[in-house]
Amino acid sequence: MDLTIAGIRLDVTEEGYLTDVSQWNEEIAKEIAQKEDIELTDKHWEVISWIQEQVKNEVALSIRGIKKSGVLNIKEFYALFPGGPLKKATKIAGVPKPKSCI
């Protein structure tokens, strides 16, 4: 499926996740976040960087992993990415949907 964000034609899944991580950039992240009603702060970028690093190192993402990350606690994670934090955070970070997300 194709989607144009920030003037760039992207390959995405039916749920809107990038299928090619190399297409991701900060402008794309900002537009995806805006569609999710999220205004990105420094803390959001910190979480996004952590998520991308985990995926690069082939670490499976989960809410439990976020809790152990040392980057933020679960309450903060839900506050930053309300209504499905792991789904929204990974979509904005341009990484595949975690297997732990339904």
Catalytic residues: 101
DSSP 69-95: SSS--HHHHHHHS-SSHHHHHHHHHT-
Contact 89, 48 (CB under 8 A): yes
Rounded CA-CA distance 102/25 in Å is: 26
